[in-house]
Amino acid sequence: MTRSTQTQSLMSKETEETAAVVSRQLKANRNIIEELSLELRSRNIRFIATCARGSSDHACAFAKYLLGINLGLPVVSYAPSIATLYGQSLKMKDCLFLAISQSGRSPDLVQATQNAKDQGAFVVCICNDAASPLVALSDYYLPLHAGPEKSVAATKSYIASLTALLQLSAVWGYDSGLLPALDRLPDQLDRGLRNDWSEPQELFSSADNLFTVGRGPGFGIALEAALKFKETAYIHAEAFSAAEVKHGPMSLVADGYPVLIFRQRDQSWDSVGQLSTNFREMGGAVFTVQEGEGGKGILPIETNIHPFCQLPVMIQSFYIMAEKITALRGLNPDSPRNLKKVTETV
């Protein structure tokens, strides 16, 4: 059930639009992704370079694992400052350069993409603005179809970026299991709006510091959750891979230290579950997002969702929770201090 539009934040309203956005996007992009996949198969693509900022870069972190797992290609993060500040051109022959941006207007992304194209990269842009300079540079453009997004905190556009990557991966990689799973995703997102994640809200709303944790493609979701905690609720949240958090940071987990873990049912299931147990034994206040029934310390999503598709559902439910935590802290998620919707980095 949604709240009255008179009191509902833009962040919450736009999160609730996600299922409709994803449904529209999957249908509208099907033909262009089929065409793009044929083009990519005809090329000798040897590696993928992603280029993005903010939430879009967290979609790239998701892509690093998704495309590496499904396609067997190295996926690296391209640092725009190499071109924009240091004036260096990288060798980009046989590279798919994947630029992701909500607005497509940040000067550093545009300049970096031009540089990569000049050096031989094949450019694909995932963006919400067809009239942007970034789209104008691309060889192929995958629109997000998210419609206007007025909230400073990106929600539906981030999930739409994940969906574009999932659809591209499924078609390009002949993933017969993921394609039908994507058809079910809009309904799963719609039901996910009603997940009960109330248990940790009071604790998180009084926290100054916390960890978010994920593994594999779930790490990109953990990065995005940490950013939203910072930009809307002013909570210092750090994101870690479930493997990396053992190398030093876990020493902070004691005496009720809050930890939010994203646990999708794939090859990481057992190791992430063991980490949750370890953190609880250390005295951490651990909340694990996973499929199945709720219970103490469990933030549930429905079962029988494809492991890759679990992650958009998880982050959507997180957005709903983060907006409520922000309100509990007496803050407006639509007016974060020092921020604006389009950030132009040079």
The per-residue pLDDT for 339 is 52
Residue 316's domain is classified under what CATH number?
Answer: 3.40.50.10490
Report yes or no on 281 lying in a domain: yes
Residue 14: the pLDDT is: 96
Q: What is the pLDDT of residue 310?
A: 98
CB under 8 A, 24+ apart: contacts of 340-346: 340/152, 341/103, 341/149, 341/150, 341/152, 342/102, 342/103, 342/105, 342/106, 343/53, 343/54, 343/106, 344/105, 344/106, 344/107, 345/53, 345/80, 345/106, 345/107, 345/108, 345/109, 346/84, 346/107, 346/108
Is 343 domain-assigned? no
Amino acid code (one letter) for 36: L
pLDDT at 340: 56
Within 10 A of 247 (CB to CB), how many other CB atoms are there? 9
> 24 and 169 share a domain?
yes
Q: Is 277 helix (H, G, I), strand (E, B) or coil?
A: helix
In this structure, is residue 344 part of a structural domain?
no
* Whether residue 89 sits in one domain with residue 33: yes
- On whether both 123 and 246 belong to a single domain, the answer is no
Same structural domain, 41 and 138: yes
Please say which residue of 184, 205, 223 terminates a domain. Answer: 184
Q: Same structural domain for residues 159 and 229? A: no
C-alpha to C-alpha distance for 118 and 115, rounded to whole angstroms: 5
70 and 152 together in one domain? yes
What's the confidence (pLDDT) of residue 343?
54
Give the count of domains, the chain.
2
- Residue 231: which H helix or E strand, with range? helix 218-233
End position of a domain, from candidates 127, 157, 184: 184
Q: Which of 179, 199, 155 is nearest to 55 (CA)?
A: 155
Considering the domain architecture, whether residues 303 and 207 belong to the same structural domain is answered as yes
Does one domain contain both 29 and 145? yes
| Rounded-to-integer distance, Cα 317 and Cα 321, Å | 6
Give yes or no: residues 260 and 304 share one domain.
yes
Could you list the residue range(s) of the whole structural domain that residue 203 is in? 195-328
Predicted local confidence at residue 346, as pLDDT: 53
- In a domain? residue 301: yes
Same-domain pairing of 154 and 291:
no
Paired sense of beta strands 285-291 and 209-214, if any = unpaired
- Asked if residue 164 belongs to a domain, the reply is yes
As averages over each run of 10 residues, the pLDDT of the chain (346 residues) reads 62 97 98 98 96 96 98 97 94 97 94 97 97 97 94 93 98 96 98 96 97 98 98 96 87 92 98 96 97 95 97 98 96 76 52
Which residue reads 């970034």 in tokens?
134
Looking at residue 4, its pLDDT comes to 41
Q: Is 338 within the bounds of a domain?
A: no
Same domain, residue pair 92 and 239: no
Answer yes or no: are the C-beta atoms of 222 and 212 closer than 8 Å.
yes
Q: Which residues contact 255 (CB under 8 A, 6 or more apart)?
A: 283
User: What pLDDT is recorded for position 230?
Assistant: 96
Residues 138 and 176 in one domain: yes
